[in-house]
């Protein structure tokens, strides 16, 4: 009886180790081309941009292909390695920067759009195929003209 119990225990342990190892290895998020982290600062008219995004789009017109990279701007700083970010594939990129006054909606009116500091600012840059640091200086000419804003969804 002890022998049967020992064999059953060995089989159960072997199966458990086998199932546990299925969870190890690469996931769908790890598949695809190598990605590289980009971090740095974003200023507008000489001051740190309080909030926004930096989008890295491979420039297909210059032979670059692959997934986009993205980073959120917090207090003038961004990093694709931080929460919600995604690294770039490097090479020729179209970089689109969106500057906002805040990352949080108005608590008294959450449907109200967060005002932009400037229109989506776009530049082209060759990024290295390695982790790198970039600092972006958005010129005051990119300023968004004063607007009344658009009404919230469902508001006449």
pLDDT for the residue 143: 79
- In sign, the C-alpha dihedral spanning 88, 74, 45, 115 is positive
Task: Tell how strand 38-44 and strand 132-138 pair up.
Answer: parallel
* pLDDT tens digits, one per residue of 117-138: 987 899 999 999 999 999 999 9
Quote the tokens at residue 87.
Answer: 């690294």
Q: Where do the structural domains in the chain lie, given as residue ranges?
A: 34-142
94-109 pLDDT per residue, tens? 999 999 999 888 888 8
Per-residue pLDDT of the chain (156 residues; tens, 9 = 90+): 444 434 434 443 333 334 343 444 434 455 789 999 999 999 998 999 999 999 999 999 999 999 999 999 999 999 999 999 999 999 999 999 999 999 888 888 888 889 999 878 999 999 999 999 999 999 988 876 544 443 333 333
Query: Which pair of tokens denotes residue 42?
Result: 């974003």
- Reply yes or no on domain 34-142 having CATH 3.40.50.150: no
């Amino acid at each position: 009886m002890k022998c049967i119990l020992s064999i059953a225990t060995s089989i159960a342990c072997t199966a458990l180790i086998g199932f546990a190892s299925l969870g190890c290895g690469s996931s769908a998020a790890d598949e695809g081309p190598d990605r590289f982290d980009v971090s740095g600062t974003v200023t507008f008219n000489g001051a740190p941009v309080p909030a926004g995004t930096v989008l890295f789009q491979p420039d297909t017109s210059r032979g670059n292909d692959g997934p986009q990279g993205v980073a959120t701007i917090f207090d003038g700083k961004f990093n694709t390695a931080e929460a919600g970010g995604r690294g770039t594939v490097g090479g020729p990129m179209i970089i689109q920067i969106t500057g906002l006054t805040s990352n949080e909606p108005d608590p008294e009116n959450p449907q109200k759009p967060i005002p932009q500091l400037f229109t989506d600012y776009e530049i082209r840059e060759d990024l290295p195929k390695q982790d790198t640091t970039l600092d972006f200086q958005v010129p005051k000419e990119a300023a968004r003209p004063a607007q009344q804003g658009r009404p919230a969804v469902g508001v006449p």
